Amino acid sequence: MSTTPTFLQPAARAAGYRPSPVRDFWEVSMQPGFISLAGGNPDLSVLPLAELGATASRIITERGMDALQYGSGTGTPGARDAAARVMAAEGNPVDPSAIQITAGSQMALELVVKLLCDPGDVILAEGPTYVGALGVFAGMEAEVVHVPMDADGLQPDALEETIGRLRSQGRTIKALYTIPNFHNPTGITLSAERRPRVVEICSRAGIPIIEDNPYGLLAFDGSTLPSMHQLDPENVIYLGSFSKIVAPGLRVGWAVAPESLRRPLQLASEATTICASVLSQTLIEEYVLGSDWQGILDKARALYRERSAAVQEALREHLPSGTRWSEPRGGFFTWLDLAEGSDCHAVLDAAIDAKVVFVPGTAFYSGPDRGPGAPGISQLRLAFSLEDADTLREGVKRLAAAIRG
Amino acid sequence: MSTTPTFLQPAARAAGYRPSPVRDFWEVSMQPGFISLAGGNPDLSVLPLAELGATASRIITERGMDALQYGSGTGTPGARDAAARVMAAEGNPVDPSAIQITAGSQMALELVVKLLCDPGDVILAEGPTYVGALGVFAGMEAEVVHVPMDADGLQPDALEETIGRLRSQGRTIKALYTIPNFHNPTGITLSAERRPRVVEICSRAGIPIIEDNPYGLLAFDGSTLPSMHQLDPENVIYLGSFSKIVAPGLRVGWAVAPESLRRPLQLASEATTICASVLSQTLIEEYVLGSDWQGILDKARALYRERSAAVQEALREHLPSGTRWSEPRGGFFTWLDLAEGSDCHAVLDAAIDAKVVFVPGTAFYSGPDRGPGAPGISQLRLAFSLEDADTLREGVKRLAAAIRG
C-alpha cells in the first residue's frame, strides 16, 4: 500500500547537480590505447613515495591516538602551519590562525557559497570557468553570470559593465569567483596590472572576491604574482589546495576569509564533515614542514613545462588553420578555439573513435550544452599534466585529425 | 571608499549553523584535572597502531600513485567492499555497488538532506537527537519536529499522530531521521517489535527514513538487530560509519540509498568534496578486508561494557533521588533526567567548578536553549566511551555533587 516515496520529490537544489564531463570521461579514458587530455590530475611520479610511506607509518605508530581521532574543526595546528608556509612561498603571508582547513578546496568553495548565496543570487565568474565550481553554484541555486576573458585574463571593463547591468536589473551579486593563476580551463593568468583594478572594482561595489588558487605555485619558471588576497584581505576570500602541490588523494585544502566569516566557516565545515582527515592533515604537516617540498615541486614544474611545450609544438604542427589556442605559462591546461561553426561534441565523437579524449568547451559555461548558440560550443580544454610528452604529441595528432573530420 | 562587503549579508542558511556544545567543550575538557563526560570519541587504544602504520607505509610505497591521486566519486572499490562487509557483519547484506562512500557519515547525512529538503520542509527526528544532525537540518533550513521516545525508542503511535497533525497543517514532511541502535544522546535502542511498525508507518505515509547507524556493532553483548534498511530497502536511506569501529580521524562513512537517489548522491558528493580521502579509504580497505577487525572490535566492546557498568554503578551510588537515567546495552552514552525544575546549564556551571563536563540536554533538541520551557532543560548526556572506569566513577561523583548544588 506504499505511496510514492517523497525522495522522488527532491529539493529544488537537487536539479543543480549535473554530471561532470571531466569525471565521466574517466572510464572511457581508462580503456587500453586511449590517450586522455581530459582530467586535470597532477603527476605524482615526483613524490618520494617510500619516504612518505615511512612518515605515515611513524605518524600512525607514534601519534596514532591523535591522528586517527576526531580533530579540531578549524584544522590541526600543523596543517594550518603548512598552509601558511605554502602561501608564504607564493608571497602571500598570513597568520595560521586565519586558516580554515577543509576536506579539499572544493569543499572550501562549497562552504563559502553555502554561507553567501540564497537561491537566485548571482555569482560572477570568468567565462569559461572551473566545471566543479559550476556544480557548487548550481547546487546552492546561485545563478552564474560570466565575465569575458582575453589573453590577460578577466576583463575589468567588462566586469564593471556586468555589475552595473545586473544591478540596474535589481539582481543581488554575492561574489566574483575567479582563478587568477593558470586558470582552469584556459591556462591564462590575470596580468599583474589588472589585479589592483579588479580588486578595486569589487571593493567599490561591495562584492567579495573568491580567489581560487590551486595552481599559483606551478608557473613553469617558478615566478609568482601578488594574490588578490594580499591586495585586499578584507574583501577577498582565498581558497588554497594541497592537491596540485602535494597530493589530491589526501583531500586537504583551505580557506582564508575575512575575520567576520571565519567562525561561520568553521561551523559550516563541522556541520558538513566535522573535520578533514586528521591522518591526511598530519601527513601534509610532516611533508611541508619537514621535507624539501619546494625542491620536489621544482621537478614537477619542469615536467609540466616540458609537456606544455610538447603540446604547443604539436598544436602548431598539426592543427588546421582557423584554430587558436592559449599559451599557458604554468598550470595544467591549454584552451582551444576551433574554427567558427565547429561543434566540440562532434569533434569529441570523432576523437573518441581516434582514441583520444578531452573536455568539450560547453562544460565550462553555465547555459545550454548543445546547439549552435551554446557557450563554448566551438571550444575545448586540453590537459597536459598527466601524460608524457610523446603521448601528448600523439594525442594532439589524433585530435587534429578529429578536428579536420 | 569601500562599501560594506556583501558577505556581511549572508545567506539565510548561514544563521542555521550554530556552535556544537560537544565541540565547544573540547578545550575546557583538555585542561589538566578535568574529566570529560562530554565528547563521544571512540577509544582507539585497542587499535594495532604499529600494524596499521606498516599497512599505511605499504599502501603509499606500493600503491601511492593511486592512493594519493583523485579517486572515484562513489568511493574506491575496496572501501565499498569494506562497508558492505561491515553491514554484512551486522546482518544487513547489500551489494557494494549500492554504496556511496563519503568523507564521514556526517557528510552522507548532509548530502541526503541537501537533496531532499527545501527551506521550510519538515524532518521528523527523535526528541532528543544527535546534535550534529540538528546542525545539518538547520543549515539546509529544514524544520525539525521531534517525536518522543521511551525506553523502547521512538514511539510509533506518537510518530503516526505527528505525521497526521503536520499534514493537516499542510506541512511537507521530507524524512524521518532516526538512530535506532544505542541512540545518541540517550543510549536507547529501538526495540525489534517496533521496527516493522515504524517502517510500515513511514512507507504508508510516503516518508523516507534516514537510518543513521554508527553504533550498531557496539552492543555490549555483540548482538545485533535487523536494520530498518533490511525491512524496507526502497524507503530507507542507510548511513554507516567507520568512525566508531575503525577510526574517526580517517573520515570515511557511507550511504546506501534506493536506486533513484544513488546518482544524485554521487553528483552532490563530487560537488562537495570530489571524493573522500583515497589514502583513508585504502587503509580502511586493508584493515577490514585484511585483518581481524572483528576481534579488535570485541576488545573495544568489552571496554565500553565495563565503562558503562562503572557509570551505572556510580549513578546508583551517588545520584540524588528524583534523578533517572537510561541503561544502554551498547554504544557510548547514558541520558539523565534530573528532578523536575532542574536547569542543566546551572548544573554544568557547578560541574565545571568541580572539574567535570557533560553536554546539556538542550543541545539535542531544536528550539530555545534556555529557560524553564526549553526542551531538554532538565536533561543531560554522559559519554562513557573514552575515560577509564575509575575516572568515570570519579566523574559521576563530581557530577552528583554538582547536581545537589
- Residue B59 within any structural domain of the chain: no
Q: Are A273 and A64 in contact (CB under 8 A)?
A: no
Among residues A247, A269, A290, the one where a domain terminates is A290
- Residue B1 within any structural domain of the chain: no
Same-domain check for residues A327 and A282: no
Residue A397 and residue A355: Cα distance in Å, rounded?
Answer: 11
Lowest mean pLDDT segment, chosen from A22-36, A161-175, A262-276, B259-273: A22-36
| pLDDT at position A6 over 60 | no
pLDDT score for B4:
44
A30 and B CB contact within 8 Å = no
Which secondary structure element, helix H or strand E, spans residue B271, and what is its range?
helix B259-273
Q: pLDDT 10s per residue in chain B (405 long)?
A: 344 444 557 888 888 887 776 666 667 777 889 999 998 899 999 999 999 999 999 999 999 999 999 999 999 999 999 999 999 999 999 999 999 999 999 999 999 999 999 999 999 999 999 999 999 999 999 999 999 999 999 999 999 999 999 999 999 999 999 999 999 999 999 999 999 999 999 999 999 999 999 999 999 999 999 999 999 999 999 999 999 999 999 999 999 999 999 999 999 999 999 999 999 999 999 999 999 999 999 999 999 999 999 999 999 999 999 999 999 999 999 999 999 999 999 999 999 999 999 999 999 999 988 888 899 999 999 999 999 999 999 999 999 999 998
| pLDDT at position A99 over 80 | yes
Same-domain check for residues A122 and A264: yes
Same-domain check for residues A277 and A311: no
Q: Is B54 helix (H, G, I), strand (E, B) or coil?
A: helix
Same-domain check for residues A33 and A54: no
Give me the CATH number covering residue B341: 3.90.1150.10
Return all residues near A15 (Cβ < 8 A) that are at least 6 apart. Answer: none
- Residue B325 within any structural domain of the chain: yes
Same-domain check for residues A41 and A75: no
* CB contacts < 8 A (A, B): 316
Cβ-nearest to A7 among B103, B261, B275: B261
The distance of A109 to chain B (nearest Cα, Å) reads 9
Same-domain check for residues A266 and A305: no
- Residue A163 within any structural domain of the chain: yes
pLDDT score for B3:
44
Same-domain check for residues A132 and A271: yes
Same-domain check for residues B262 and B312: no
- Chain B contacts of A72, Cβ < 8 Å? 26
- Residue B353 within any structural domain of the chain: yes
Q: Which has more confidence, B37 or A27?
A: B37
User: A28 falls in which pLDDT band (50, 70, 90)?
Assistant: confident
Same-domain check for residues A64 and A39: no
Domain that holds residue A308: 6-46+295-404
The distance of A197 to chain B (nearest Cα, Å) reads 14
Q: Which has more confidence, A25 or A115?
A: A115
- Chain A contacts of B276, Cβ < 8 Å? 103, 251, 277
The Cα-based distances of A131 to A253, A357, B178, B266, B395 in angstroms read: 18, 17, 36, 16, 52
Give me the CATH number covering residue B183: 3.40.640.10
**Counted domains in chain A:** 2
User: A13 falls in which pLDDT band (50, 70, 90)?
Assistant: confident
A13 and B CB contact within 8 Å = yes
B259 and A CB contact within 8 Å = no
- Chain B contacts of A249, Cβ < 8 Å? 66-71, 277-279
Cell of B129: 537527537
Which secondary structure element, helix H or strand E, spans residue B210, and what is its range?
strand B209-212
- Residue B63 within any structural domain of the chain: no
The Cα-based distances of A375 to A87, A239, A368 in angstroms read: 34, 27, 7
Cell of A384: 597536459
Which tens digits make up the pLDDT trace of A218-261? 999 999 999 999 999 999 999 999 999 999 999 999 999 999 99
pLDDT score for B10:
83
User: A4 falls in which pLDDT band (50, 70, 90)?
Assistant: very low
Which tens digits make up the pLDDT trace of A56-65? 999 999 999 9
Among residues A232, A258, A290, the one where a domain terminates is A290
Instruction: Give just the sign of the alpha carbon dihedral A197, A117, A249, A284.
Output: positive
Same-domain check for residues B41 and B104: no
- Residue A1 within any structural domain of the chain: no
pLDDT score for B15:
85
User: A22 falls in which pLDDT band (50, 70, 90)?
Assistant: low
Q: Are A44 and B278 in contact (CB under 8 A)?
A: no
What ipTM describes this predicted complex?
Answer: 0.96
Q: What is the DSSP letter of B292?
A: -
For chain A, what percent of residues have pLDDT higher than 90? 90
Question: How many other C-beta atoms are found inside a 10 Å radius of the C-beta of residue B50?
Answer: 13
Name the residue of chain B whose CA is nearest to A276's CA: B251
Four-point Cα dihedral A4, A5, A8, A11, nearest 10:
130
Same-domain check for residues A234 and A366: no
The distance of A56 to chain B (nearest Cα, Å) reads 6
Compute the mean pLDDT over every residue in chain A, rounded to the nearest whole number.
95
Q: Check CB contact under 8 Å for B267 and A135.
A: yes
- Residue B374 within any structural domain of the chain: yes
Same-domain check for residues B29 and B133: no
Return all residues near B102 (Cβ < 8 A) that are at least 6 apart. Answer: B75, B108, B111, B252, B253, B254, B255, B269, B273, B276
Cβ-nearest to A53 among B58, B118, B271: B58
Among residues A290, A313, A332, the one where a domain terminates is A290
